[in-house]
Amino acid sequence: MAYSQEKPQKNRVLNTGRAAYGGNGTDFLPVKVIADTAGISGRQVISQREPFIFRPGAAALDSGMVAAGTRSGAATITTGGTADSTYWGGWQTYQPLRSGRIDGKASGGIIEGQLTIGHKSAAGTVNIKVTARIANTANTSAPTTMLAVTAATSVTTTETFTTYDIPYLACDTVMNSVPFSVAIGIQTAVAASAGIARIMESSVIMGEFEPDD
């Protein structure tokens, strides 16, 4: 049976006591809203959050397909010759069309997800450590360490994978909005030994943001 659907719109004035609903083609669902009556003469106004899903381990589309059962990921990082020195990969940036604060907050907005890191040695067996940092794209010169340097893991030339959870982490003032960027770093325990790491395709960072416009 056909029926009309109400499309959520930011800053739409609602009648007092009227709930906002939207449709998904099958059911009517309440629209998540934040009432903001400041300066609006007591009228209820939608200030709507938008969900985001960022996959920092996505490979490039060009020749990016792989056989079923194999893995893909972002570009690799290779350590230099200095032991216990962090070598950072490039920033992976999430930058949609619109920007805004995570959960609409200056700090304390929540992100969740996981980072899966693939690691191996360039030759032989190597002990490596990994770390990760995150920041608003404008704050990458002074980022927040999201994953402290881990304990050493013994790896060979066969790539192995470790997943680290992002268990509902509260943002700070360095990382509190969209767009944002994430990067991983890698260390080796022995000079002149080379470790290789990358963010894998299953990695994901999720949350909600309140658009600025």
In the beta sheet, which residues pair with residue 78? 196
Residues 110, 58 share a domain = yes
pLDDT tens figures, 192-213: 889 999 999 999 999 999 998 6
d(CA 102, CA 49): 9
Please check whether residue 195 is in contact with residue 188, taking contact to mean a CB–CB distance below 8 angstroms: yes
Same domain, 14 and 99: no
The string of pLDDT tens digits covering residues 117-144 is 999 999 999 999 999 999 999 999 999 9
- Asked whether residue 63 falls in the same domain as residue 113, the answer is yes
8 Å CB contact between 137 and 93? yes
- Give me the helices (H) in the chain, please: none
Split into its structural domains, the chain has a count of: 2
Is the same domain home to 95 and 7? no
Last residue of some domain: 11, 27, 48? 48
The pLDDT of residue 47 is 65
Distance CA 12, CA 9 (A): 6
Last residue of a domain, one of 30, 48, 66: 48
Q: Which CATH number is 163's domain given?
A: 2.60.120
Both 35 and 64 in one domain: the answer is: no
Q: Give the domain range for residue 16.
A: 1-48
108 and 36 fall within a common domain: no
Same domain, 14 and 57: no
